[in-house]
């Protein structure tokens, strides 16, 4: 199973990968995919992936938030490692020597991701994206400019793995984006974090109903494609984003027009 087997680049991705592979583990992931209850409704694979993503994102987010609190309260770095491990044991209920996981390693990855979440983009990195007159938003393909004229759109650099979740501000984690897509994506970690469960349309919806689908949901669909490509091909998320390319997020259609249109039943 290629679930989240993309090549990690940033500190946050390394932490995410460790949680998925070593803390949750293949055995538990397979158990979720085999739940009989999820066979009901014809969305077993999609919903299994959804729940695994939510679990991993929840653990990662809580670890980073706790690490930030510890770092802000205690200056001694030796205390940071000890206190975050105590948090793993008490609040996350992870034993000291769980099968497949090393709490010292988990603590190191967490603290490194927390540190990187506080570092912005430096000028030498930003200049690497300013060598061409025009770039294109990696999500919607709209032309963006480092030095826009009056009618042009200012280029922004978007963290593919969100900075707030340990996404290093390095070239390997940045791509040009238009302000609208950058703002809508914001700090979306996984497509699962886009409140996809609250979206459903009737079968064969009208063009107007499809047009009203929120842009954040459309961006989440694009992000889902990026993760799936990266996991299947063992590439970085940036390489996957470049391979897939931008999409016309303004035009979507139902896959199965006889079924209700939820997040798993529309495409660009």
If you count them, how many residues does the chain have? 268
Q: What is the spatial distance between Cα 7 and Cα 29, in angstroms, rounded to a whole number?
A: 19
Strands (E), the chain: 135-136, 143-144, 156-159, 174-177, 200-201, 253-254, 261-262, 266-267
List pLDDT tens digits, range 16-31: 999 999 999 999 999 9
User: Which pair of structure tokens corresponds to residue 249?
Assistant: 């997020």
> Stretch 116-140: mean pLDDT, rounded?
92
Considering only the C-alpha atoms of the chain, give the largest distance between any 2 of them, rounded to a whole number of Å: 61
Q: What is the spatial distance between Cα 267 and Cα 251, in angstroms, rounded to a whole number?
A: 9
The reported pLDDT for the residue numbered 98 is: 56
List pLDDT tens digits, range 176-233: 999 999 999 999 999 999 989 889 999 999 999 999 999 999 999 999 999 999 999 9
The reported pLDDT for the residue numbered 40 is: 94
List pLDDT tens digits, range 144-169: 999 899 899 999 999 999 999 999 99
The reported pLDDT for the residue numbered 250 is: 87
Q: Name the residue ranges covered by the structural domains of the chain.
A: 11-116, 123-267
Q: First and final CA of the chain: distance in angstroms? A: 26
Q: What is the spatial distance between Cα 221 and Cα 238, in angstroms, rounded to a whole number?
A: 16
List pLDDT tens digits, range 51-90: 999 999 999 999 999 999 999 999 998 899 999 999 999 9
Q: What is the spatial distance between Cα 224 and Cα 216, in angstroms, rounded to a whole number?
A: 12
Of the listed ranges 94-108, 116-130, 150-164, 246-260, the one predicted with least confidence: 94-108
Asked if residue 143 lies in contact with residue 155, where contact means CB atoms within 8 angstroms, the answer is no
User: Is the model's pLDDT at 45 over the cut of 80?
Assistant: yes
Rg (alpha carbons) of the chain, rounded to whole number: 20
* Residue 33 CB contacts under 8 Å (≥ 6 apart), including other chains: 1, 44, 45, 48
The reported pLDDT for the residue numbered 96 is: 72
Residue 253's Cα: distance from chain center in Å?
A: 24
User: Which pair of structure tokens corresponds to residue 175?
Assistant: 């791509």
The reported pLDDT for the residue numbered 228 is: 95
Q: What is the pTM of this model?
A: 0.93
Which strand (E) or helix (H) includes residue 125? Answer: helix 123-126
Asked if residue 6 lies in contact with residue 46, where contact means CB atoms within 8 angstroms, the answer is no
Q: What is the spatial distance between Cα 53 and Cα 113, in angstroms, rounded to a whole number?
A: 18
């Amino acid at each position: 199973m290629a679930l989240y087997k993309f090549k990690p680049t940033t500190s946050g991705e390394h932490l995410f990968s460790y949680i998925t592979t070593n803390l949750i583990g293949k055995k538990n992931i397979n158990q979720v995919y085999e739940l009989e209850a999820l066979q009901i409704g014809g969305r077993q694979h999609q919903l299994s992936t959804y729940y695994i993503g939510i679990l991993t994102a929840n653990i990662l987010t809580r670890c980073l938030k706790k690490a930030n609190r510890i770092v802000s309260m205690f200056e001694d770095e030796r205390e940071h490692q000890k206190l975050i491990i105590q948090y793993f044991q008490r609040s996350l209920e992870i034993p000291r020597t769980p099968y497949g996981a090393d709490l010292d390693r988990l603590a190191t990855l967490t603290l490194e991701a927390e540190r990187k979440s506080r570092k912005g983009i430096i000028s030498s990195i930003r200049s690497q994206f300013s060598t061409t007159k025009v770039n294109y938003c990696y999500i919607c393909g709209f032309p963006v400019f480092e030095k826009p004229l009056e009618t042009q759109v200012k280029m922004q650099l978007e963290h593919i793995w969100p900075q707030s979740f340990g996404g290093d501000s390095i070239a390997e984690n940045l791509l040009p984006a238009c302000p609208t897509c950058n703002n809508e994506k914001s700090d979306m970690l996984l497509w699962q974090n886009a409140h996809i469960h609250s979206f459903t349309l009737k079968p064969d919806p009208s063009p107007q109903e499809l047009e009203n689908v929120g842009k954040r949901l459309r961006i989440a669909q694009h992000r889902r494609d990026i993760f799936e490509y990266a996991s299947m091909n063992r590439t970085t998320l940036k390489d996957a984003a470049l391979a897939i390319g931008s999409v016309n997020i303004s035009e979507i259609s139902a896959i199965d027009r006889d079924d209700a249109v939820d997040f798993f039943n529309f495409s660009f």
